[in-house]
Amino acid sequence: MDTFVRDAGAERVMLMNRSGRLLLQRGFADARQVMKVATLAAGIHATGKRIGELVGDPGMAQSQNRGSTCEFFLSELLTPAGPILFLTVFRANGRPQVARGAFEVFARTLGSLAGVGGDGPLRAEEFETSLMTSLERLFPQR
């Protein structure tokens, strides 16, 4: 992950499952922000996939948005353990072509790892416990 962040010039990176369960992040300092971003990214991905299905392109799995100060790239990676969502945020004046190249290398590396995707979808009653466990692991109380 650190190599990707450096090579892509990324400011923030997040890996999560399709439900928004956080697996790994770099660059986010606030646990509440992480929860919000993960949830929204999962929703954006689900919406994009559904639009793709409705317009006859069920393979649609990437989104990219550019604002005045930053840009984000959201993609689905297929791994042996299941799909992983990958969110990258970088400055709008960044290097999107370099980021895409670094992403392809990272995707191949991640795709070769077994067990990285978690254990599948969560039941509603498990979601909050799983979310809090992930956040406590990533943002330990001091």
Give yes or no for residue 120 having a pLDDT over 60: no
Are residues 1 and 28 in contact, defined by beta-carbon separation less than 8 angstroms?
no
Q: How many CA atoms lie less than 13 Å away from 110 in the CB half-sphere?
A: 26
- DSSP structural state of residue 60: -
Interatomic CA distance for residues 10 and 27, integer angstroms: 9
Give yes or no for residue 105 having a pLDDT over 70: yes
Model confidence at 8, pLDDT cuts 50, 70, 90, reads confident
- Looking at residue 98, what is its pLDDT? 67
- Looking at residue 117, what is its pLDDT? 47
Are residues 86 and 75 in contact, defined by beta-carbon separation less than 8 angstroms?
yes
List C-alpha distances in Å: 108 to 41, 50, 69: 21, 25, 29
pLDDT, one tens digit per residue, over 74-104 is: 988 887 778 889 898 987 666 666 666 777 7
Secondary structure (3-state) at 39 = helix
What is the average pLDDT across 8-34? 88
User: Other CB atoms closer than 10 Å to residue 62's CB: what's the count?
Assistant: 15
- Looking at residue 111, what is its pLDDT? 64
- Looking at residue 126, what is its pLDDT? 64
Burial 9-21, CB ≥16 within 10 A → b, else e? bbbbbbbbbbbbb
Give yes or no for residue 125 having a pLDDT over 70: no
pTM exceeds cut of 0.85: no
What does the DSSP assignment read for 70-102? EEEEEEEEEETTEEEEEEEEEETTS-HHHHHHH
- The continuous run of DSSP H or E covering 66 comes out as strand 62-66
Domains for the chain: give ranges and CATH numbers.
Answer: 2-135 (3.30.450.30)
